[in-house]
Every structure is written in C-alpha cells, then in structure tokens.
Amino acid sequence: MFSRAVKPVVTVAIQNGAKNFSTSPEMLFKVMVAGAAGGIGQPLSLLLKQNPLVSNLALYDLAPVTPGVAVDLSHMDTPAKVEGFQGADKLDSAVKGADVVVIPAGVPRKPGMTRDDLFNTNASIVRDLAECVARNSPKAIVAIITNPVNSMVPIASEVLKKAGVYDPNRVLGVTTLDVVRACSFIGTINGVDPRSVSIPVIGGHSGVTIIPLLSQANPKPKISDQGKIEALTKRIQEAGTEVVKAKAGGGSATLSMAWAGARLTNAILRGLNGESNVVECAYVKSDLTEATYFANPLVFGKGGVAKNLGYGKLNAYEQALLKAAIPELKKNIAVGEKFVNK
Ligand SMILES: NC(=O)c1ccc[n+]([C@@H]2O[C@H](COP(=O)([O-])OP(=O)(O)OC[C@H]3O[C@@H](n4cnc5c(N)ncnc54)[C@H](O)[C@@H]3O)[C@@H](O)[C@H]2O)c1
Ligand SMILES: O=C(O)C[C@H](O)C(=O)O
C-alpha cells in the first residue's frame, strides 16, 4: 500500500530567504480527517498539511464547502497531497489506505449544555465512521475528538469488536487539549515558556473525570497553598466550559483543539515511523482502574500504543479526584457500549 512504503521525505529549511530542500528516508502516511470542514477540522487540516510525515491528507465532511477546503489547502507549498471527499457516498474512498483517522465530526456544545448532551447526535456519527474504518482500513489508528469522548471511544471499540478487527492499541480518545491547557496555565503562573512544561492529565475528558496531576508537573506550579492547587485543578477541568461561555453560542474550542489534535497526530505518526520514545496522554482501553477506559501517558510505536505508562504516585488530593472520577467514567463507558450492543 502506498502509504506504508518508504519514500524520501522532503524537508524545507528557510535560510537567507531561500528554500533549501533536503531528503531523508522516512515513512510517509495517509491521514484522514472526518469532519474536516468544521471549526476544528479546518485548522487541524492546516496544521497536518505542514507535517512532513504526512504524504496524503484525505478531508472528509458532509458540508458542501469540503472540496473547496481541500483545493484551498492544496495550494500550500508543502508536500502532503490533499484530496476532498464530500458526502456519505465518498466516505469509503476517503478512509481506504488511511494509516490514521482523526475524527472531529459532530456537533459542539452551546452554553448550558454538558458534553453528554451531545451523545444522541454524535453517537451514530462515530459509530458509522468506525464501521467504515472496519470495512476499509481496519489497521488504521483512530483518534476520536468528538464529544463526549468518554463514551465515543467505547462506541468505536464495540463497532470494531463486532467487525472482528478490534485492536485496543489503535483506538484513542483525544485528551491532549487538557494537557495543553494545563501547560499553558502553569506556564503563565510560573512565568515560563509553556512549551517547557510537562504534566500528565489522567482519567477522561469531561468535568470531574479530567484529573491534572499537578504534583507530577515539571516544573511544579509556583502555588503556595492547597486552595490555589484546587482552584487551578478546577480551572483545567472546566476550561472547555470557559471557552463555550466566551464564544457565547458560537461553539466550543476549535483552534486550541486543532493545535492539540495536531500534536497527538504527530505523536502517533512518529510512533508509526519507528521512534520509540514518543509519549502523550490519551484515553484508551485500560485495566489500571475499575474504569475500562482511562487516559494517562502512553508510549507510541509502530502499532499505535506500544506501552501504557500508568499514572505514578498520586497525593491524597489526587486520589480523591480519582475516586470521584471513576463512577462517572464507568457510567459514560456503559452508555457508549450499550448504544452499540442494544
Ligand atoms: N476532545 C476534545 O478535547 C474536544 C475539544 C473541542 C471540541 N470537541 C468536539 O469536537 C466536535 C466537533 O467540534 P467543532 O467545533 O469542530 O464542530 P463544527 O460543527 O464546527 O464541525 C463539525 C463538522 O462535522 C461535520 N459532520 C457532521 N456530521 C458528520 C458526519 N456524519 N460525517 C462527517 N462530518 C460530519 C459537520 O459538517 C462539520 O463540518 C464536537 O463534538 C466537540 O464537542 C472535542
Ligand atoms: O468543552 C467542550 O464542549 C469542547 C471540548 O471538550 C473542550 O474541552 O474544549
């Protein structure tokens, strides 16, 4: 298959105003974005078009603007070849040969809604996309952005199980935005470049299931008392709602999500490409807790998740957060599984 062949990667360095092209033997991959014409899909595709590990970018959406988004991006002077696929009858072609399928398809929140309120609309979208992956590209790594993530990953997993092609290392819920936010907020508090901050955010992706492990942050947030630790934790847990409120009916986080989605996709691609030390948090099948899906740091490799790194030592406050998250996660997971197996 073309997407797994070794091809020369062209890297472009801007030096003294001139472009210098150099080649190195690296794998190149096909990435399919489902929901590519949306608020997340467009900027995510813009970022993926710049990724040197991407040879082919398949942009799928129901929206009539989809072919135009593809033509627009195809004019960027980066090597990835862009194709647009609009409408359900084009879905199979879009997915065929994909190494990675990123899914931001579905409706976003409006003020006053919870992520769970999106379930009824988004569940069938993710189910249908997972069925298409099973038919056309069963080895693809599926990264689900669509909310509620805690339930969507079990839906996709059950669909792939039914089709007999499930590999738990290849189905991920994208929780990277929680990590990105935690790094951004700690960077501001400490007065350092947020890119120099690292922190595991574990659990899931909604309210109390988002558990930032501030005790394991590097550097530690310069916060003097427990009250401030709890306020920062709450801010990270509720950061999605902060954006929903600020957008005042215009949707939820799109640009920071695109950034976070591109970061996780890059980690997946680097793993597929043979790097062995790429670590990101994501929400995956898990036996670490009573919740059968759980987010924490993972090592990525040639088959998707290569190693689950667990979540290390929690302090008493973090243990209490974990205790509160588990029943909610279990409920979200059961709802997703029931949707497919009803
Ligand atoms: N995981 C996270 O951290 C995170 C962060 C932000 C948003 N989200 C979620 O991402 C989803 C998308 O948000 P958005 O702001 O991009 O929404 P949006 O409405 O701007 O875009 C969604 C796109 O999906 C498309 N779509 C709908 N049904 C489809 C289908 N069956 N197949 C293909 N495309 C389809 C729409 O045409 C639209 O272009 C929402 O569910 C939102 O809650 C998750
Ligand atoms: O909050 C939302 O609805 C979108 C997303 O899950 C987020 O965390 O920004």
Task: Please state the three-class secondary structure of 89-129 as a single string.
Answer: HHHHHHHCCCCEEEECCCCCCCCCCCHHHHHHHHHHHHHHH
Fold adopted by 6-175: Rossmann fold (3.40.50)
Tell me the binding residues for NAD(+): 35-41, 61, 122, 145-147, 257
pLDDT single digits (tens) 164-214: 999 999 999 999 999 999 999 999 999 999 999 999 999 999 999 999 999
Domain 176-260+275-341 architecture: Alpha-Beta Complex (3.90)
Binding site membership: which residues?
Answer: 35-41, 61, 109, 115, 122, 145-147, 181, 257
> Which part of the chain has CATH 3.40.50.720?
6-175
DSSP 219-238: SPP---SHHHHHHHHHHHHT
Question: 15 in helix, strand or coil?
Answer: strand
Q: For residue 251, which atom of ligand 1 is closest to its CA?
A: 15
Tell me, what DSSP letter sits at residue 194?
G
| SS3 assignment, position 253 | coil
Q: Is the ipTM of this complex over 0.95?
A: yes
Enter the tokens of residue 323.
């205790």
Q: Mind listing the pLDDT tens digit of every residue in the chain (342 residues)?
A: 233 333 433 333 333 333 333 444 467 999 999 999 999 999 999 999 999 999 999 999 999 999 999 999 999 999 999 999 999 999 999 999 999 999 999 999 999 999 999 999 999 999 999 999 999 999 999 999 999 999 999 999 999 999 999 999 999 999 999 999 999 999 999 999 999 999 999 999 999 999 999 999 999 999 989 999 999 999 999 999 999 999 999 999 999 999 999 999 999 999 999 999 999 999 999 999 999 999 999 999 999 999 999 999 999 999 999 999 999 999 999 999 999 999
Number of H helices, E strands in the chain: 10, 13
Report the pLDDT value the prediction gives residue 18, as an integer from 0 to 100: 32
Query: Does the Cβ of 145 fall within 6 Å of ligand 1?
Result: yes
The pLDDT value given to residue 21? 35
Of 205, 213, 253, 305, which one is the catalytic site residue? 205
Beta-carbon count within 10 A of 229 CB: 18
State yes or no: is 205 an active-site residue.
yes
Q: Token digits for 22?
A: 């150099």
Q: What is the pTM of this model?
A: 0.94
Instruction: Give the pairing of strands 171-173 and 141-144.
Output: parallel
What stretch(es) of the chain map to CATH 3.90.110.10? 176-260+275-341
